[in-house]
Structure 1
Amino acid sequence: MEKAILGGGCFWCLDTIFRRLKGVESVVSGYTGGHATDPDYRSVCEGLTGHAEVVEIMYDPSQIRYADLLEIFFAIHDPTTLNRQGYDTGTQYRSSIFTTDAAQEAEARHYVAQLEAKKIFDAPIVTQISPAGSFYPAEEEHQDYFERHGSAPYCRIVIAPKVRKFLEIFQNKLKS
């Protein structure tokens, strides 16, 4: 198993999408990239810890490549808005890739350079790429949130459209 840590706004959105992929063994919503020890949802949301909301993805590289995870990541969030995804604003919602080794860092930087060269987005990519530090799992109520609270307004308005887009584009990568 290998690990990827990605932040693209609210972790609830990323959690539900990456759980559906072939080769992904687990997804844990959590926090990283900050200065506080043992952050919690409230302190992260208030911007007091410097952490980003992220997902830690454990995956089997013989079934899904890191490049595939990056492709999906950049397709399901806006990497051109600094510290913002839709109505969610603050550094905790920054677009970020926390790499576990030099190979991941090189691949992430190369992937972003390719997107920029192809002018995929109308604005420059502001995704932060940095080495992974301590990862803190979010509280239990934030794990698999969309599956448990799909009828909640945030889920219907924000997450569901991202899931629909993902399902349309990446059908060939879904678990059976």
Structure 2
Amino acid sequence: MFDQLTDLVKQFGGEAVVNNSAVPNEQNDAVMNEASSSILSGLKDMVASGNVSDLAGLLNGQSAIDMNNPVVQELANKVTGNLGEKFGLSNEAAGSVAGGLIPQVLGGLLNKAKDPNQPGFNMSDLVASISGGQGGGLLDMVSSVGSQFGLDQDGDGKVGMSDVTEMVSKKSGGLGGLLGKLFGK
């Protein structure tokens, strides 16, 4: 997922990074790489800390991807802090980069993951990447209550990645339907 995220940061980084006079041109690539890394680690941190309800709202499209979104705010704080620390950018300059990148990158990432014509990357890959692919966090939560909500798609008695893949591949709801059932929406 890091490659897809990095591609999106580069795609949307023109205004927020390259055309930003506060970011020295020789640091453009490094700043974009750090932003990518910070976004991915921020998403993983949210899952690891159990902050899955806000993330679920983002993933299932129930919350806007803007600076009012708690996930976007948390990621912006992480990116801002890391860019300030590693590149000496002022809080204002680093915040400008974060605010210009994160909503666009997350929107692009979710659109890419939901696109059935996008080879090699889908919503189950996104969930696996941010949960560490080991059933932690979001997938543990889904698994622990999944059978109550009819989420055991393959009938093996547990909810795992194969069930998530099955839910994502179905046209009736996909991951949004899965998370909607889980959170009662």
Give TM-score, length-normalised by structure 1.
0.28
Greater strand content: 1
Q: State the structure with bigger RCO (CA 8 A, min sep 6), 1 or 2.
A: 1
Greater helix content: 2
Larger Rg: 2
